[in-house]
Every structure is written in structure tokens, then in C-alpha cells.
Amino acid sequence: MEVAKVAIVGYGTIGSGVARLLLNNSERIARYAGKRVELVRVVDPDLKRPRSYALPPGLLTADLDSVLDDPEIVAVMELVGDAESSRSVMLKLLDSGKDVITANKTLLAEHGAEIFKRARRVGRSIAFEAAVTGGMPVVAAITECLTANQIESIHAILNGTSNFILTQMEENDSEYAVALAEAQQCGYAEANPALDVGGGDTAQKLAILAHLAFGARVDWHEIPRVGIDVVDIDDVRYARELGYTIKLLAVAELVPEGLELHVSPTLVRHGTPLAEVRGAYNAVRVVGDAVGRVFLHGLGAGQMPTASAVVADLIDTIIGRSAISFRTLNFWPADVESPVPLRDPAKVPSRFYLRLNVDDRPNVMSEITGILGRHNISISSVIQHETEEDSSSNAVPLVIMTHTSPKGDVADAMKLIGQLACVHPGSVRMRVRD
């Protein structure tokens, strides 16, 4: 049987998972790849750190050149965590004639155009299923399976850490800080969780999906985003009372005015598939003009789910499917303007959930609803629970659900409402999805 020699660069969590799959399941992988796939080198500057998978002796090396200079190595899995190192390694691998598989979303979001241009120039391919939602095959779904469709929208839960925290808050009635600490204890959240809970990770993945589905060229920093770090347990409770759960949604929606992109905590109606996504799971809901709604749900991160996608990409690379996809799909083409304008976020309509802390006295409701009315925002429901007569606080929460209105109008109204004497600081505004 023919042999395909391959290497791993970056021997961290994902790298260990990939090595485990390649070495433990070589027979199955050979069946799918039509060749025996031999892992001949694993490169990492740190040779000492203990890993979850013990490599056979002789495989691990700190010498990247031993891969670059070995013409028998045909495909390399680039699993370096840091985006800058990853970029530099990618370019070297491509220049040395290797087909590359990467799991690095930041690399694609920040340097996609550069590395894809280089790969085209040197005639190599890049496969990147693992970079977006780990083992859940959303890249293949959009770029290979739904090609007969104009994609109309994507609604997605793309950050398992945030979803885990929101699920903990909902199921255990925990404050945000408690749920975050629990996520850190379980290994779902990093010591510095900012990229996850602030929505940055989700925005990077959304920028990639927007490119795959719509050809959009968007800097992920420019996608309007709010993270889950603003979500209060009170909002989780009110949402439940109203029949909703709060999810960190990434949205890409094509309308005649352009492409709407945003990341924000959103009230999602109970009983819809997105609302049922719990724990560290991801989900992507894609609507295409022919296929209708397709929904994928799975683990979007973690060692073995991500390794699953890396090895599937490796097999595709070895049998030649990746080269064909890479050539025909022409991702991140050089010097091309985004074919679709981004829509002005202020114009995007939505239903909104508003929570205000207001004085418990006459006329408050009429002042607030008056401002909403003058902005043409109609109210679909209101919650104001009875307070105890001897309550020491003079502020009570008032929750308002609006009908669909442009985001800008709601923001303007909320600004005026915030200036009312009867309204205390700390108002909350979140989108609602039915």
C-alpha cells in the first residue's frame, strides 16, 4: 500500500488529539485515504511539557526545518495556537511545497488574504474545517453541500465557552461571575476569558462564515459585537418568564440593503432549535433559497472534536479533494472588493428586550412609553412585578418587550429614556429572536 508521510507543527491540546487519532486508528484512516498515512514528525519548541498523548520516541522535535526540508512530507497540520507564529509557520510550509491543514481561526480572520494568496502562488492547498466549529462540518456544508443555493442567512452559536456559561446561569440560577468561575474550573474558559465572553472569538468565526457564504470581506473588528459579560442573572430570569433563553448569537443576513452582521446576546424563544443548544455546544442555522433551513449542532471546540475535523481535512488533502475545493472555491482572492456592502446597523430591525430600573412612583410608565411611542416603537409586553410596600429600595425593574423596530430608533429612544429623572443607570437592551 502506498504511504503518505505527514507532520504536525504545534504539539498542544489539538496536536495531541490529532496524533492520537493518526496513530491509534491507522487502519481506518488508510481505508479512507487510500494510502497508509504515516506521521513522521511532530514539531514543537517545547520538548518537555507533559502532553495528554505520549508520542513514540523520535517523533517530537523542535526543528521545523526537519519538516520543511523533507520532500517526502506531503501534508502538514499547522496547529500552532498563536496567530502570528501560525502565520509565519504557514508561509514557510507553503513555500516548502506542503499542503496545509489549519485549525486557527484567528489566522484566517486576520491573515486569510495573505496566506491564501501565497498558497495559490505556490500551487498548494489550505484546508480549514477545524478553524470554525471544530468537528461540526459547517465549512463543508456551506462550501460544498449548499453550493446550489443563494445563502440568505446564518444564525449561529459559535462560542462554546459563552454557551456553557449562559447554560449554567440558566440551569443553576447562577450569577455571571459564578458561572464563569465554574467554566474556568471545568476547563471550558481560559484564565483570561476576554476573547470568548467578549464576543471576539464569535466575531472572528462570523467573519470567516460571512466570507464563505457571501464572499464578504470584513475585518472582524468591525463587526458590531456585544459579549455575554453584560448578561445579568436578572435578565436570564425575565427572559425565562417571557418564554425565552439568552444565547450569544452570531448573525449574518443578506437583505436588499446589504449584509447585516452582528454578535450579541439575544433572547431566543424556547422550543426553537437554537434555544435547545446547551452547555459547550455550538450550532449553525443556515437558510438557503433552495434547501430552506439547515441546522447543525455539535461540539465546536475541544481536543477530539477539533482533531476529528483536522484528520478529515488531512484525508481530503491526501486523496486530492482539498486541492480541487481550494482551486475552484478561490477563497480570499487577492485585491477583490467585498461583493456585498455591510448594512448600516442602525437600520436593522429587530424586536428588543429592555430592562430599566425606574422609580416606583406614578407617571413613570407614561413617560417611558411616551418616548417609545414618539419613536414609533410599539410594545408587545411589559413585566413589572409588585414590590413590597416597605421595600427599602426606591427603584424597581421594568421589563419591556417591543415589536420589531430599527435598532437605531430603539437606541435613540433608550438614550432619551436614560435621561429621565425617574430612570436609574444600568438599563439593558437585547435583541429578541422568535
Taking CB under 8 A as the rule, does residue 308 contact a copy of itself? yes
In angstroms, the CA 395 to CA 290 distance is 51
Judged by beta carbon, residue 310 or residue 348, the one nearer a copy of itself is 310
Phi-psi region of 189 (alpha: psi -120 to 50; beta: other; left: phi over 0): beta
In angstroms, the CA 131 to CA 283 distance is 15
* Binding to a copy of itself, residues 109-148 (CB under 8 A): 129, 134-137, 140-141, 144-148
Taking CB under 8 A as the rule, does residue 3 contact a copy of itself? no
Judged by beta carbon, residue 112 or residue 134, the one nearer a copy of itself is 134
Choose the stretch contacting a copy of itself; rule: CB under 8 A; options: 50-58, 189-197, 284-292, 340-348.
284-292
Active-site position among 5, 98, 105, 205: 205
Residue 235 main-chain phi, psi, to 5 deg: -70, -35
Taking CB under 8 A as the rule, does residue 149 contact a copy of itself? yes
Could you say which of 65, 171, 173, 276 contacts a copy of itself (CB under 8 A)?
Answer: 276
Q: Shortest approach of a copy of itself to residue 69 CB, angstroms?
A: 28
In angstroms, the CA 89 to CA 75 distance is 13
Q: What's at 92, amino acid-wise?
A: K
Judged by beta carbon, residue 242 or residue 304, the one nearer a copy of itself is 304
Taking CB under 8 A as the rule, does residue 434 contact a copy of itself? no
Q: Shortest approach of a copy of itself to residue 300 CB, angstroms?
A: 10
Residues 6+ apart with CB under 8 A from 330: none
Cα-only R_g, the chain: 24
In angstroms, the CA 205 to CA 193 distance is 16
Cβ proximity of 269 and 218 under 8 Å:
no
Taking CB under 8 A as the rule, does residue 1 contact a copy of itself? no
CB-based burial label for 1 (10 Å; 0-12, 13-18, 19+) = exposed
Q: Shortest approach of a copy of itself to residue 424 CB, angstroms?
A: 37
* Binding to a copy of itself, residues 34-93 (CB under 8 A): 34
Choose the stretch contacting a copy of itself; rule: CB under 8 A; options: 56-64, 261-269, 291-299, 395-403.
291-299
What is the DSSP code string of 32-86?
Answer: HHSSEEEEEEEE-S-SSS--SSPPPTT-EES-THHHHT-TTEEEEEE--SSHHHH
Judged by beta carbon, residue 145 or residue 178, the one nearer a copy of itself is 145
Taking CB under 8 A as the rule, does residue 340 contact a copy of itself? no
Judged by beta carbon, residue 318 or residue 356, the one nearer a copy of itself is 318
Cell numbers at 344, concatenated: 448600516
Q: What's at 386, amino acid-wise?
A: E
Judged by beta carbon, residue 47 or residue 290, the one nearer a copy of itself is 290
Could you say which of 299, 398, 410, 413 contacts a copy of itself (CB under 8 A)?
Answer: 299
Q: Please count the CA atoms within 13 angstroms of the CA of 327 that sit on its side-chain side.
A: 10
Paired sense of beta strands 292-299 and 349-359, if any: unpaired
Q: Shortest approach of a copy of itself to residue 254 CB, angstroms?
A: 13
Taking CB under 8 A as the rule, does residue 342 contact a copy of itself? no
Taking CB under 8 A as the rule, does residue 15 contact a copy of itself? no
Taking CB under 8 A as the rule, does residue 21 contact a copy of itself? yes
Q: Shortest approach of a copy of itself to residue 372 CB, angstroms?
A: 34
In 123-183 the beta strands, taken as DSSP E runs, fall at 126-127, 151-157
Q: Shortest approach of a copy of itself to residue 295 CB, angstroms?
A: 4
Q: Can 205 be counted among the known catalytic residues?
A: yes
Alpha-carbon distances, residue 190 vs 187, 244, 279, 341 (angstroms) = 7, 28, 16, 35
Judged by beta carbon, residue 212 or residue 428, the one nearer a copy of itself is 212
In angstroms, the CA 393 to CA 75 distance is 65
* Binding to a copy of itself, residues 163-222 (CB under 8 A): none
Residue 258 main-chain phi, psi, to 5 deg: 140, -165
Q: Shortest approach of a copy of itself to residue 309 CB, angstroms?
A: 7
**Torsion angle of C-alpha atoms 251, 255, 257, 259, degrees rounded to 10:** 30
List active site positions.
Answer: 205
Q: Which residues bind a copy of itself (CB under 8 A)?
A: 17, 21, 25, 28-29, 32-34, 129, 134-137, 140-141, 144-150, 271-273, 276, 288-299, 302, 304-305, 307-312, 315-316, 319-321, 324-325, 327-329
